[in-house]
Amino acid sequence: MITEWLRGVFPPIPTPFDEAGELALDRLIENLGHWASCPLNGLVVLGSNGEAVHLDRDERKRMIEVVSSHAPQSRPIIAGTGAHSTRETIGLSRDAADAGARAVLVLSPSYYRNQMTPDALADHFTAVADGAPVPVIVYNMPACTGIDLDAGTIARIAGHENVIGLKDSSGNVTKLATLRAMIGPEFGILAGSGGFFLPALSVGADGGVMSLANVASKACARIFDAFQSGDLETARALQLRLVPLNTAITTRWGVPGLKAAMDLVGLYGGPVRSPLRPVDESAITELGRLLRSASVLS
């Protein structure tokens, strides 16, 4: 089955910068060494947490090359390639394949939002799937795009043989349940946030691409494993414990909060790129408290 590997826990890794704002690839390699020892099923590079919109084309390709070269060969690399034009998305997808990505994660084009009808979006994803040399995963992220793909449109796009899955960050578990009923098990469904990981699994999701997995990979993997083994009590307790931390590094402080949390747990988070701003000291203190409450920091 083509999506057999598209199961489990995938962190959308941040892009590290140095104090001058340049790619800090040596620190990326250090982080990859840490994640190699964690119970993860693959890595996502150049997602929303990877500040992909702040990187030029050469930087994007270099990031994928380094991750592909230093991550365990057994763990697939998924690369974000979404752009506002179909032409550029196909070009970035070809770059990603050349650099070692096993699949591409394609965000909905959104600049001309009012023109992005279901037909326009279906045509876009179909053209990308036709032109991409590796499989395509649809990325639904309404918080960033202002577009929330409905189950019918996703199912229509999923009819393409080169579209193998969905990362959905809408938090609409009912939609995921509807989609799972519409599409067979060969199509991978991934929760886009640790805040609803267990609910998504309960309605048929295959795993998750979660910011939380960067700093709490063991706990995320334990939720997945407990659910798979039928230990819902353990899975529920872990999910509840992680929700406040997940909220802090997603909707509350976003990428700056995630990078600060990484610094606190001994990874390299480092600076964000402008116009993003770092979190302040009070936020760092609160993040430390939340990491301890979630048993990520002792």
Please give the Cα distance from 279 to 184 (Å, whole number): 43
The phi and psi torsions of 167 (rounded to 5 degrees) equal -105, 120
Residue with tokens 């704002």: 21
For residue 72, the SS3 value is coil
CA-derived radius of gyration, the chain: 18
Cβ-contact 83, 139 below 8 angstroms: no
| C-alpha distance from residue 222 to each of 74, 190, 198, 234, 289 (Å) | 20, 16, 11, 8, 22
Assigned token pair, 154:
């996703």
| Residue positions annotated with a catalytic role | 167
CA distance 250 to 243: 10
Q: What gap in Å lies between CA 269 and CA 260, rounded to an integer?
A: 6
Q: Considering Cα of 260, then 56, then 12, then 150, what sign does the dihedral take?
A: positive
> Can you tell me the distance from the alpha carbon of 102 to that of 45, in angstroms, rounded to the nearest whole number?
11
One-character DSSP codes across 173-213: HHHHHHHHHHS-TTSEEEES-GGGHHHHHHTT--EEE-GGG
